[in-house]
A and B are shown apart, each in its own frame.
Chain A
Amino acid sequence: MDHTTNAHADHAAEARKEIWKVTGILTVLTIIELALGFYMMNVPLDEFSKRNFIKGTIVILMLAKAFYIIAYFMHMKHEVKNLIMTTAVPLTLFIWFIIAFLYEGNSYKNLRNTYDGHFRDRKEIKAPVKEEHEAVKEIKAVEPKPAAE
């Protein structure tokens, strides 16, 4: 390995440029995510489709960020295809994991909502005080003697 050639210096300058470009992209993506997060605060809870659309966009941006970190910061893009495949192919299992488990969770909720009265009624029980700080105080006051419940 020799480190003294001109080609190396050129390569280093190019790599440096790439780092700053990727840093910029990651920053912009994070800012967009945060902007969406702030925007979502004002979307009412019962507007499911709108909220889910924003959440979906955030997840896509998250995956884009993951791609840039793996491809450029972790240098995966410059590796041999064999190496990329031995790590990427097993990770495709996640596609199935995510779909299967989230579907399962959702189905469990629906089944309990249909057949389990206790579970269904739970969502009707309001928390004692809406203001968190007050709720905390109440919990703290109750905590020493939980048997009183």
Chain B
Amino acid sequence: MTTTTTAPADKLWGGGKSPFNVEYGKLMMWYFLMSDAFTFGAFLISYGTIRFSSVGWPDPNKVFKSYPFAAEHANAPLVFVSIMTFILIVSSVTMVMAVQAGHQMRKKAVVTNLILTIIGGIAFLSCQAWEWHHLFTEGAWWGRNPFPNADGSIASTNFTNYFFTITGFHGFHVFSGVIINIVMLIMTLTNQFEKRGHYLMIEKAGLYWHFVDLVWVFVFTCFYLI
């Protein structure tokens, strides 16, 4: 594989090949992800700035404490969101397996793992849809915040505005990731990669999917834990 052979540094810049030792598409995917990291970073830093400039902030453990099919007064903070986190980690693992199988040209394993990844992505989106719906029925939305600050004082709408904007933007990334994975699955099933002789395209889709998981690590920490 081009990615695993490391040529001496002086030869990399000798011309005739990519000094980054990857194909063009993968390099550009890395640059795209870097720019996307700045977008998410700007969102999260803006959230942090506003939170630091506020005298009070709602306690996440009092806001996110329910789960599907729970009683109305259920008090289970962190439980549902940890399930969502693990769903995303597991789907990331199956994506790595799909990329690995692609390296070895094992079409069947690629298909299985891609399907598992897509299921994981859809499961995560369903969880998020449930949570948004639940918060909406509690009265939270952009511009509306029924949750008081942790110290009991009246909160501004910053909390809900940031929550829905950032998790919404992340959810949109998960959604496009699922679409990309479905396209990859169709391309695998129609033998497009077999004809090309390599599965490098899956690797790029995988990079995007891992990035989505990576962003969730930050969103999860910033909104639910601290």
What is the interface of chain A, defined by CB distance below 8 A to chain B? 1, 3, 8, 11-12, 15-16, 19, 23, 26-27, 30, 33-34, 36-38, 41, 45, 55, 58-59, 62, 65-66, 69-70, 73-75, 78-83, 86-87, 90-91, 94, 97-98, 101-102, 104-106, 108-109, 112-113, 119, 122-127, 130, 132-133, 135-136, 139-140
Contacts and interface: CB of A to CB of B under 8 A. Distances in A.
B1 interface: yes
Interface stretch (B97-105, B163-171, B182-190): B97-105
B201 interface: no
A87 B6 CA distance: 18
A74 B34 contact: no
B44 to A, nearest CB: 9
A83 B53 contact: no
Given A69-B217, A83-B22, 20 more contacts: A1-B2, A3-B103, A12-B103, A16-B100, A26-B89, A27-B86, A37-B224, A41-B77, A62-B218, A75-B203, A82-B20, A94-B45, A101-B45, A101-B48, A102-B45, A105-B53, A132-B62, A132-B63, A133-B138, A136-B146
A18 B12 CA distance: 27
Given A73-B96, A108-B53, A126-B152, A132 B45 contact: no
A106 B53 contact: yes
Interface stretch (B120-128, B173-181, B206-214): B206-214
Given A23-B89, A26-B89, A125-B153, A102 B20 contact: no
A58 B53 CA distance: 21
A133 B75 CA distance: 12
A83 to B, nearest CB: 4
Contacts of B104: 3, 8, 12
Contact of A73 (B51, B53, B153, B210): B210
Q: Please tell me the size bucket of the interface on B.
A: 35 or more
A127 B45 contact: no
Nearest to B213: A69
Given A30-B89, A127-B154, A136 B139 contact: yes
A74 B3 contact: no
13 contacts: A1-B198, A62-B217, A79-B20, A83-B20, A87-B30, A97-B45, A109-B53, A113-B55, A125-B154, A127-B149, A132-B138, A133-B72, A133-B73
B150 A74 contact: no
B49 A90 contact: no
Given A58-B221, A69-B213, A91-B37, A83 B82 contact: no
A74 B73 CA distance: 41
A135 B152 CA distance: 12
B89 A105 contact: no
